[in-house]
Structure formats: structure tokens, C-alpha cells
Structure 1
Amino acid sequence: MTDTPARLLTLLSLLQTPREWPGSELAGRLGVSARTIRRDIDRLRDLGYPVEATLGAEGGYRLVAGAAMPPLVLDDEEAVAIAVGLRAGAGHAIDGVEEASVRALAKLEQVLPSRLRHRVGTLQSATVALTRGDGASIDPRTLTAIASATAGRERLRFAYRARDGAGTRRLVEPNRLVSTGWRWYLVAFDLDRDDWRTFRVDRVSEPFATGARFAPRELPMDAVAFVERGLRGGPAQTYDVELRFAVSAEAVPAWVGAAEAEADGVGGCRVRFACGDAPEWLAARLALTGLPFTVVSPPALAETARSLGARLLSAGAGTPGPPDAAGLPDAPGPPGA
């Protein structure tokens, strides 16, 4: 192999396999001399790749962990596998990795050859993921298109379906994608309405980055706080919640407020957080965690949880209970939904 850049990439791909490579084997694989391999190893080191050499009859070369992660070189099968995994993580908002999945997927799909992009799409269409709660599944291509426009500060056009089913076309300056762990929201400045809006991404279709750049505007508040305000239907009073879970703090979903959890000394934990959701909505979401919990306060939430439990027990027994005037509210939607 006489093309030095191509040979270096091939050599790097081999070294990223977790094993030690004898110099003679690398030379044979690349069709060059052992001396050329040594020069190529030095070039990789100059580029920041920490290649370690060992001496002796069983010696060789291997790539070790360094101070920073160097660019990866993937073969076709590895690239397809990673893209499919990232699509699953991004499209179903897996708690804790959702935003990183979208960023990584946007970078990967930008450089995937068309033949591999087709394979990824075929695999994705043939599989289905099991999701918890009522989080809506999202086309990862929509997420990556929005993420790319957000990162590149490009104005974005898309079709949007409102809560009542009405369709509109929007032109926005995207600011941030926010995941609640069960749904994705886009925070953006709506140019036609001359105001900030949040959009449920599962209601977005046909996203198109226009190529027109924009100077970032200052959002009135943190993007997460902006989405939370929208979910409550605007500024609202919050109330303090205290729960006791019969599992460790590590097992409690982050959205519940696991960062505020304290061990109770008997294998469980207490969780305290401020909430602006309706008690009916919070009780339903807590039930969907599948974790055993007790409401310590407030009394209104405890009563709502008892009422919801009684209705579910009646439904399971086939004996409908009395109607509940409060009922269970529809999923909240932010402005723009």
C-alpha cells in the first residue's frame, strides 16, 4: 500500500482492535516493510495517538488510553451497529444519554456513505423498541436535522401538528433540544410570531435547514426552565413533594429528583423536590416507573395516588369504580404545541 494517508488510516483501524499487533503481522497486512511500519507508528504518535511498543519475540504495538480520545476509525459493520444503537437511544429518549446520542448521531450520519445510510435505515425499519411511560417515538432523522441546524445556527423550516391536529408551517431559529426523559422538545425563536416557542419534536415533520445563518438571541431563561414552564401551561405555583421509595437512590429515575434522594437506612430512600405538575399527572407518571413508593407529602398527592390506584384495581377486576370528577388530565403541552 503506497498511499501514505490511506495506509495510516488502515493501520489506525487495526490498532484500535483491542490486541497487540506484532510489527511483522502489520507489515504483512499492509504490504510494506517493518521499517515503514515503524515510521508510520511514529507519525501516529505525532498526531496524538498513544501507541505503545513492547520489545522481544512476543512484542508488538497496541493503542492505549491517552489524555484525550483520538478520532475513531470504524469499518462498515461497526459504523452501522453504532448508528443503529444511537438511533434507538435518541429516538426513544433513553434517560441520561438522550442529548449525547443526538449529537453523536448527527456527526456520524453526516459522514456515513449512502450505502451505509441505507443499511442503517433498513435495520431501523425492521426493529421496534420497547419504551416505558408514554414517551412518543421520534424519527431519528428529524432529531439529527434539528440538532445539526441548532449546532450550525441555521434557520429551520418544518411542518408542525398542533395539539388539536391543525397543521402549520414554521420558520424558526433553533436554540436548544431538551429531553424530559420521555419526550423531546425544541426551544426556538418563531420568526413569524416574533416570540420564543417550544415544540414537541414528535409533532415535527419535514425539517429543513435553510442555510441562512443567524446571530443567537438571548433566551429569557434557561432552556430547561423554559420547557418546564411550558409544560405547566405558563407560570404556576409549585408545591413540595416528598416520597419514600423502597429501592436505592440509584434506581430512582432522574426526572423524579434522584439528585435530592437520601438513603433511609433500610435499603430505600427519601426523595424531595418541587413540582409544578398537576397531582393527577404526577401520580400517573410515578405509577409508570414501576417502583414501589409511598407519598409522604403533600396530602393532595397522596389522596390522588389512592384514587388512581382504586380506579386501576377496579378496572383490573372488571368492576368499574365510581366516576372521578377530576379524572386524569391530558398530557401537558408547551406553547407552540
Structure 2
Amino acid sequence: MPKTSARLLSLLSLLQARRDWPGALLAERLDVSPRTVRRDVDRLRELGYPIAASKGPDGGYRLGAGSELPPLLFDDDQAVALTLALQLAGTSGAGLEEAAQRALHTIRQVLPARLRHRVDTVRVTAVPQPEARVRVERGVLVALSAAVHAREELRFDYLHPRREGPPRRVQPHHLITWGGRWYLVAWDLDRADWRTFRADRIAPRTPTGPRFAPREVPGGDVARFVTEKFRGAQGWPCRGEVVLHRPAEEVAEFLSDDLVEPLDEGRCRLLAGSWSWSGLAAAIARFGVDFEVVGPPELRAAVADLGRRCVAAIDQPPAASPPAADVPSRRAPKS
């Protein structure tokens, strides 16, 4: 059984991790008896933590919130994760660099010396992507997030540089980041279709509209939906399937949104796409391993054509290097 002080910290960390905890589950996680859990909860209450208890066979505990709540507890992994997140906040495009630095300084001051030393060793230089230079007002992000959370219809002016139009009426579903920019994924009520809007071009109007029943994005996966949306309604125009003679975990390191599935220890199935069949064939060949084309026939033809061109390139005699062009001297004439 762990010492009382360590057990109290573990109990407090668990109570902060979720809203409700059954007493039996807490006892199992801490490897103690339910009676010990009750005693430890009483000790935390004496320290000022408002912990509510429910009676009965399914009774449990809940850590309350309020102005009297003592400082929150962070374990090692949580402290490192929070430090990294605050240092990377400057690349979000939301103008949070100064606020993130102040938050990091405040949190550092209340950490124990051991954790403070570990946090001080976590230093990264966050370089924003070029697209992140377009800033989004924090008030806009808060308004969009609130509408998404409340499932309330949203009206806004869309400040498009090439055209102006009437206010848009949408049902906001997701606020996402892509390539350093913020986007709102919403159901456009006037066009009866899904749309993505750049958040830096949105000027919300108040008040918000009525509540709505949430819809499911096409395919049920917002990440995949947005990926295909930015590439066109049908995704990549050329998609094919091959079997690579290489472990799936090694292939996955070189992929972005293509799909890879392990077949055995040395082979995997790859579903990939490109703007052209020749480009897809070259992308598959770059893995430098044997492979079999599953389909479609267009990919088979592109691979055969790529192989023919590669063989022809090495069968040709090497071309003579062109003579170097005479370059006028930049040296100043002697006087």
C-alpha cells in the first residue's frame, strides 16, 4: 500500500480526471479498501477540497469546483504536456503568444521544485507556418466555439476579398485548424449543404439563433471530410491500392492521410492518392521495395509506363556534358 501522502495525491489526481468516480472503482485503482478511500476523502476535505459523496451501492465521489478550491494538482506527464501546449500556442494563429507566456510563468510559480526543474528543461522554439500569419481575433474564436458548444444557429458577415454577399446563416458543428488557419465547419441553411469558412473572415452577428439538432458530417469523420473538402469533393482524382513488401509501421512514418494496413510482419496494404496516375506510381516507387498493384487498371498502366521509362533511361548512352559557357570576368580592370 502506498504511503498516505502519495495516496492522497493519487486520489486527488483521479478525482480531477473525471466528473464522477464510483467508490469501488477508486478503491480498485488505488489498490486499497473502500474504507481507506472514505478516510482519504475526509482528509482531502480537511485540506479544503470540496468533495461530494453519494450514498448507496453505486455511491461515489465528485470533486466540486469553486472559488475555495486549492491549487490543482499536476503529475509529471500533465506538467510537461501543459508546458508544451503553452509554448506551441503561438503557432495557433489566435494571437495568444503573450497570454500563453504569462500562463506558463504563473503555472511554473506554483509547481513543486522537482516539477519546476523538469518543466524548465522542456524548451521548444515554435515556428509558425506561413499561413498562421493571418490572425484571428480571440473574440471571434470564443463566439464560434460558444455557438458550436450550445448548438445554436449563427449569423455572420463573411468578409471575402473578391465578393460580398448577404449575411450567412449556418448551423456550426466544428471549429478546426488546418495548415495554421482556423476554419468553421457548418451546415449552410441557405444553400442546404456543408461548407467550410475561414474564421479570420467571419464577423459574427448577435444574437445567435435557435438551437438545432446536430447533424453528422458526410462519412462521420470531420478530419477526413475536411481533408477531402480541401482536395475537392471526391478527394484525390487518382486513387489506387498496392501491397508493399515493407512493415506497416515503417511505411506509416512517411504518410500524411493515406491509409496503410498491416498484412503480416513484412508486408502491408497501402491505399494512396495523387493528382495523376504517373504521380501516384512515382510516389509508390519511392519506398524502394517490391510491391504488387492491386488496382485499378490505370495504376497498373502508370507503373508499367514508369518502369519502361526507367529502363530506357539507363539503356541510353550517357549524354556528353555541354561545354561550360564563358563567363565574363567581374574583376575590375587594372589602372
Normalised to the residue count of structure 1, the TM-score between the two structures is 0.42
**Bigger relative contact order (CA 8 A; separation at least 6):** 1
